Chains A and B, each alone.
Chain A
Amino acid sequence: MEYFVNLVASGLVAGSVYAMIAMGFAMIYRATGMLNFAQGELMMLVAYIAFGLASTFGANLPVLLAGVFVAAILLGLLIERVFIRPMMGEPMFSRVMVTIALAVVIRGVTILIWGQEPYAMPRLLGTELIRIGPVSFYPAQVWTLVMVAVLCVVTWVFFNRTRFGVVMRATANSESTALLMGVNVRLVSAVAWAVSACFAAAAGLAFAFMFSVEPDMSSMGLRAFPAAILGGLDSVLGGALGGLVIGVVENLAGGYLGRGLKEIAGFLLIVVVLMVRPYGLFGQRHIERV
Chain B
Amino acid sequence: MRSGDFKESYGQLVVLARNPVGWVYAAGAVLALSLLPVFAGGYVINLATMAGIAAIGVLGLNLLCGVAGQLSLGHAGFLALGGYAQAILVTDYGVPGWIALPLSGAIAAAASLVVGIPSLRLRGLYLALTTLAFAYIVRHLILISEDITRGSSGMPVPSLAVAGLRLDQQAHFYLLVLALLVAFTLCTLNLMRSKVGRAWKAIRDHDIAASAMGISLTRYKLLAFMVSAFYAGVAGALMALHIRYVNVDNFSLLLSVEALAMIIVGGLGRTHGAIMGAVFLSLLHEVIRIAFGYGGSALQALLTDRIYEIKEILYGVVILLFLRLEPEGLAGIWRKTKRFWVKWPLSQ
A260 contacts chain B at the CB level, 8 A cutoff: yes
Binary per-residue interface labels of chain B (134-175) against chain A in the complex, 1 for a CB within 8 Å, 0 otherwise = 001100110110000000000000000000000000000000
Binary per-residue interface labels of chain B (306-321) against chain A in the complex, 1 for a CB within 8 Å, 0 otherwise = 1001111101110110
CB distance from B48 to the nearest CB of A (A): 26
Q: A93-B71, A267-B137, A290-B212 are in contact. Are A100 and B257 (CB under 8 A)?
A: yes
Q: Which residue of chain B has the shortest Cβ distance to A288 in the bound complex?
A: B208
Give chain A residues whose Cβ lies under 8 Å from the Cβ of B177.
none
Give the interface segment out of B26-34, B123-131, B280-288. Answer: B123-131
Q: Which residue of chain A has the shortest Cβ distance to B69 in the bound complex?
A: A93
CB distance from B330 to the nearest CB of A (A): 16
CA–CA, A93 and B65, complex, Å: 9
Residue pair A87, B323 in contact (C-beta under 8 Å): yes
Q: Which residue of chain A has the shortest Cβ distance to B321 in the bound complex?
A: A101
Give the interface segment out of A106-114, A125-133, A240-248. Answer: A106-114
Residue pair B208, A104 in contact (C-beta under 8 Å): no
Interface centre among A86, A90, A260 (most CB of B within 10 A): A260
Q: Which residue of chain B has the shortest Cβ distance to A107 in the bound complex?
A: B312
Give the interface segment out of A4-12, A162-170, A203-211, A221-229. Answer: A221-229
Q: A87-B323, A111-B306 are in contact. Are A271 and B118 (CB under 8 A)?
A: yes
CB distance from B304 to the nearest CB of A (A): 13
CA–CA, A270 and B206, complex, Å: 26
Residue pair A112, B306 in contact (C-beta under 8 Å): yes
CA–CA, A225 and B69, complex, Å: 22
Residue pair A274, B212 in contact (C-beta under 8 Å): no
Report which of B129, B206, B254, B324 forms a contact with A290, defined as CB distance below 8 A. Answer: B206
Residue pair B313, A105 in contact (C-beta under 8 Å): yes
For the complex, count residues of B whose C-beta is within 8 A of A: 47
Interface centre among A29, A90, A233, A267 (most CB of B within 10 A): A267
A98 contacts chain B at the CB level, 8 A cutoff: yes
Q: Which residue of chain A has the shortest Cβ distance to B316 in the bound complex?
A: A105
Binary per-residue interface labels of chain A (193-231) against chain B in the complex, 1 for a CB within 8 Å, 0 otherwise = 000000000000000000000000000001001100100
Residue pair B137, A274 in contact (C-beta under 8 Å): no
B37 contacts chain A at the CB level, 8 A cutoff: no
Q: A1-51: which residues lie under 8 A (CB-CB) from chain B?
A: 29, 34-35
Give chain A residues whose Cβ lies under 8 Å from the Cβ of B261.
101
Q: A233-B126, A275-B121 are in contact. Are A263 and B313 (CB under 8 A)?
A: no
Residue pair A108, B125 in contact (C-beta under 8 Å): no
CB distance from A232 to the nearest CB of B (A): 10
Residue pair B208, A278 in contact (C-beta under 8 Å): no
Binary per-residue interface labels of chain A (75-111) against chain B in the complex, 1 for a CB within 8 Å, 0 otherwise = 0000000010011001011101110111111011101
Report which of B121, B133, B312 forms a contact with A108, defined as CB distance below 8 A. Answer: B312
A279 contacts chain B at the CB level, 8 A cutoff: yes
Residue pair B129, A264 in contact (C-beta under 8 Å): no
Residue pair B65, A222 in contact (C-beta under 8 Å): no
CA–CA, A100 and B315, complex, Å: 10
Query: Chain A interface residue count: which class?
Result: 35 or more
A179 contacts chain B at the CB level, 8 A cutoff: no
Q: A239-285: which residues lie under 8 A (CB-CB) from chain B?
A: 260-261, 263-264, 267-268, 270-271, 274-275, 278-279
Give chain B residues whose Cβ lies under 8 Å from the Cβ of A100.
73, 257, 260, 319
CB distance from A228 to the nearest CB of B (A): 8
CA–CA, A111 and B132, complex, Å: 23
CA–CA, A260 and B248, complex, Å: 15
CA–CA, A290 and B310, complex, Å: 44
CB distance from B90 to the nearest CB of A (A): 26
Report which of A94, A260, A274 forms a contact with B130, defined as CB distance below 8 A. Answer: A274
Residue pair B309, A263 in contact (C-beta under 8 Å): no
Give chain B residues whose Cβ lies under 8 Å from the Cβ of A275.
117-118, 121
Binary per-residue interface labels of chain B (230-241) against chain A in the complex, 1 for a CB within 8 Å, 0 otherwise = 000000000000
CA–CA, A250 and B215, complex, Å: 40
Residue pair A225, B137 in contact (C-beta under 8 Å): no
CB distance from A269 to the nearest CB of B (A): 10
Q: A105-B312, A268-B137 are in contact. Are A229 and B126 (CB under 8 A)?
A: yes
B332 contacts chain A at the CB level, 8 A cutoff: no
Residue pair A233, B125 in contact (C-beta under 8 Å): yes
Q: B150-206: which residues lie under 8 A (CB-CB) from chain A?
A: 206
Give chain B residues whose Cβ lies under 8 Å from the Cβ of A96.
71, 125, 128
Q: B35-56: which residues lie under 8 A (CB-CB) from chain A?
A: none
CA–CA, A201 and B256, complex, Å: 27
CB distance from A107 to the nearest CB of B (A): 6
Residue pair A97, B316 in contact (C-beta under 8 Å): no
Give chain A residues whose Cβ lies under 8 Å from the Cβ of B137.
264, 267-268
CB distance from B288 to the nearest CB of A (A): 13
Residue pair A101, B315 in contact (C-beta under 8 Å): yes
CA–CA, A92 and B126, complex, Å: 12
CB distance from B67 to the nearest CB of A (A): 12
B102 contacts chain A at the CB level, 8 A cutoff: no
Q: Which residue of chain A has the shortest Cβ distance to B129 in the bound complex?
A: A225
Residue pair B323, A274 in contact (C-beta under 8 Å): no
Residue pair A263, B316 in contact (C-beta under 8 Å): no
Residue pair A222, B208 in contact (C-beta under 8 Å): no
Q: A104-B312, A108-B310 are in contact. Are A290 and B209 (CB under 8 A)?
A: yes
Residue pair A104, B122 in contact (C-beta under 8 Å): no
Residue pair B133, A270 in contact (C-beta under 8 Å): yes
Residue pair A92, B124 in contact (C-beta under 8 Å): yes
Interface centre among B65, B310, B316 (most CB of A within 10 A): B316
Residue pair A264, B136 in contact (C-beta under 8 Å): yes
Residue pair A97, B132 in contact (C-beta under 8 Å): no
Q: A93-B65, A104-B313 are in contact. Are A279 and B324 (CB under 8 A)?
A: no
What 6 pairs between A and B have smallest CB-CB spacing?
A105-B316, A108-B313, A260-B144, A101-B319, A108-B312, A267-B133
Provide 11 A-B residue pairs closer than 8 Å at the C-beta atoms, listed in order of the A residue. Answer: A87-B323, A93-B69, A97-B323, A101-B316, A103-B316, A111-B309, A112-B306, A112-B313, A263-B136, A263-B140, A275-B121
